[in-house]
Amino acid sequence: MPNNLADARVLLVDDDPRMRESLSGLLELYDCHPTVADSGAEAIDRLQRESFDVLLLDLNMPEVDGHGVMDFINRQDIDTLVIVVSGESSFNSVSTVLKQGAYDYVKKPYAPEELLSTLKNALRKRRLQQDNQDMHKQLIKSEQLHRFIVNNSPDLVFVLDHLCHISFINERAETLLNYRPETLIGQHIVELVESDDEERASLFFSHVVQDGEQLASCELCLKSNGLYQRKHYFEITVSASRNPHEGIPDLEDGELLLYGTARDVTERKEAADFINFQAYHDLLTRLPNRVLFKDRLSVTIFNAKRNNSPFAVMFLDLDRFKIVNDTLGHTLGDRLLQSVAQRLLVCMRGSDTLSRFGGDEFILLFPEVANIEGVEQIAGKFIDALKQPFHVKGHEIYIGCSIGIAMFPEAGEDMEALIQNADIAMYNAKANGRDSYCIFSPDMSSSPAFRLSLERDIRRAISDDELCLFYQPQVDLVKQCISGVEVLVRWEHPERGLMYPSEFISVAEEIRLIIEVDKWVLRHACRTAKSWFANGLPPMKLAVNLSPLMVEQEDFVEFVLNTIEQVGFPAQWLELEITENVLLKDQEHITRKLEQLSEKGISFALDDFGTGYSSLSYLHQYPIDTLKIDQSFVSTLDESNGACLVDAIVAMAQGLKMNIVAEGVESRTQLEYLSNLGCRYIQGWLFGKALSEQEILKLLHTTPVELEHRAILARQDRY
């Protein structure tokens, strides 16, 4: 398979001589010498005589058009990828060729970068397909080899009759299981299986009998005749046959037999189990790590929402551990952490989870709690247990702990909020004197200790470049494509992990650092999106949120224009999102600023529309292009009042010739309702949550068909 354009076999089909010459010239710049056909009939003739990796195909040609060529390819099952290069750009045209099996569609006049990128992607796909075929052939060969293993095989080989009784078993039965082969003849195969696997074994062999000649495999634990102290696992491979069987007594020709092998995979299974253990556990304490803890927490949240039951998350930080580590050394510190883990486990139930989050931090999950009093008793046990001295390598060590408690649903209904709020409560416990626990309450985010710490960290976050950007897609229902992305800021806090805007933006606004945050976001978002466009992605709307404080700045207009000029970002693709609070300020002053930017091509969206206090008459005075329906309205579409509000907002926006973006769309029902209303643009978990730059780039390359498939998966993966 070709690795680059120079090795590719390309057939170029177009009745326009200039287009053929243009495409040929472009490809030859990259040492690719395409075969050229000036009609659909000539293309079919070429395809009958030669093989091609990629077909660059025009649609509108006399006599045999592009659709006819693709029909021929489909009928003859010709292995080639078709890239349509056509001036037709309607949705129906694109949809039709994709349904006919085209790999991709490039619109005339084509952009050379887009065409080359599409062609390279097609060649990569061809190479992957061939690799997969080669791998599939190897697997088939391996399965065939297992089927024809003979008596001298190192594996256990057996033959079963139609009732799954053993008719033959090779002498490896004595080596592997310590049974003489003749003693097993006539026994049911399931009698060789350990009791824990008997039900699964019965189901497996009954399916093999019913399915006929299909090859099947299953991993089972087989009994040994006193040979092993531990369990031994075997990979059982079985196939059924009704061919004549010579040399096997009491069997008639055509009678169903099952041929099978059993390979000892105990060491492989133990190695896989160990690798799996490493992936989900902290190797020092052998406790679950962050990944496993978050998985269990996710399941607990799902069950709690379904059963309307409370549970608790605890964040436990050791007091005075750093002193021990610094004075007695890391080796002794590690031994101390192991002792702490064992002492905590003694206080826990089997259904609870204790995880080491890193350093001297532990996080605990209690999925079965009746009330807060029970959680407080558990926290008290932990504090009392860790107050007792630890004896490590001849040292008597005293430490303590500070515990933060977050209750579901009071402290949050999602994983990030519960962990973050338990962490906040733990910091409050430390601030209150240590060796204590603290239960999270909403007012803790404004407590003096937390606020001072957060203010200090925000100032450092900007200078140390700890902020990062996430992107949520906005989907155009008419074109069935991603029309833009909303930029959302996150904070990679070195101690608290990933923090969401709700956890620090209000503090940033109070100390007026929000202006610096907004400037950072605008610069980085424009620079990042510009790099996307330069690397072949088509331009799309970049929606950036701005705070009222930012808009009120005297140099607001100058900063925005200077930023896009320095970055080289096209003004027409920038959309600034403002809230209704901005419209309550100096109307004349704000209007002048927005109009100055609007004249340069920048558009404006009114975010969270309907949740503020502005008059509807204001909409006539400002250059607002888009209304964003707040997700609080979308979530109530199944209620009559909620539906009426959304109906009214959409009708009003349509009357004012404004675009409408519905936020927080999470279900197919909401999508269909909004689509029927004429709401063209959608944003929400149905098509994608806020994604990192690497994740959004993958999504931006999806086709309409893949986008619909992603929406289906999103609905399945909500929890």
Q: Check whether residue 65 and residue 191 sit in a common domain.
A: no
Number of domains forming the structure of the chain? 4
pTM score, whole prediction: 0.43
pLDDT value at 155 more than 80: yes
**What was the pLDDT predicted at 28?**
87
Check if the beta carbon of residue 634 is closer than 8 Å to that of residue 646.
yes
The 3-class secondary structure across 591-648, one letter per residue, is HHHHHHHHHCCCEEEEEEECCCCCCCCHHHHCCCCEEEECHHHHCCCCCHHHHHHHHH
Whether 345 and 478 map to the same domain: the answer is no
Could you tell me the pLDDT band of residue 178, with boundaries at 50, 70 and 90? confident
Q: What pLDDT does 386 receive? A: 92
pLDDT-derived band of residue 218, with 50, 70 and 90 as boundaries?
A: confident
Provide the pLDDT confidence category of residue 489 given band limits of 50, 70 and 90: very high
**Residue 149 within any structural domain of the chain:** no
Residues 257 and 197 both lie in one domain = yes
Residues with Cβ within 8 Å of residue 687, at least 6 apart in sequence? 473, 475, 482, 665, 707, 710, 711, 714
Question: How sure is the predictor about 320, in pLDDT bands with cuts at 50, 70 and 90?
Answer: confident
The reply to whether 358 and 442 lie within a common domain is yes
Do 179 and 313 belong to one domain? no
Of the residues 225, 246, 271, the one at which a domain ends: 271
Do 266 and 288 belong together in one domain? no
For residues 118 and 218, membership in a common domain is answered with no
- Rounded to a whole number of angstroms, the distance between the first and last alpha carbons of the chain is 41
Residue 279 included in any domain:
no
pLDDT tens for 284-296 read 998 998 889 999 9
**Which of 390, 412, 446 represents a domain boundary (last residue)?**
446
pLDDT tens profile 233-276: 888 888 887 654 544 445 555 577 888 888 888 788 777 777 77
Looking at 244, 271, 298, which one is the last position of a domain? Answer: 271
314: pLDDT confidence band, cut at 50, 70 and 90?
very high
Q: Phi, psi (5° rounding) for residue 150? A: -110, -175
The pLDDT of residue 719: 33
- Mean per-residue pLDDT over the chain, rounded: 84
Lowest mean pLDDT among 316-325, 421-430, 446-455, 615-624: 446-455
- As a whole number of Å, the CA-based R_g of the chain is 33
Q: Kindly state whether residue 499 falls inside one of the protein's structural domains.
A: no
With respect to residue 277, please indicate whether it lies within any of the assigned structural domains.
no
431 has pLDDT over 50? yes
Q: What is the pLDDT of residues 96-115, one digit of tens each?
A: 888 888 888 888 888 888 88
pLDDT at 711 over 80: no
- Give the integer Cα–Cα distance in Å for 372 and 370: 7
Q: Is residue 292 part of a domain?
A: yes
295 within some domain: yes
Q: Which band of pLDDT confidence, cut at 50, 70 and 90, is reported for residue 579? A: confident
With bands split at pLDDT 50, 70 and 90, how would you rate the model's confidence at 162?
A: confident
Asked if residue 144 belongs to a domain, the reply is no
Residue-level pLDDT at 716: 45
Q: Which residues pair with 234 in a beta bridge?
A: 220, 264
The enclosing H or E element of 431 equals: helix 415-431
Residue 22 falls within a domain, yes or no?
Answer: yes
Residue 551's domain comprises: 469-490+512-716
Answer yes or no: do 544 and 643 share one domain: yes
The enclosing domain of 703 has a CATH number of 3.20.20.450
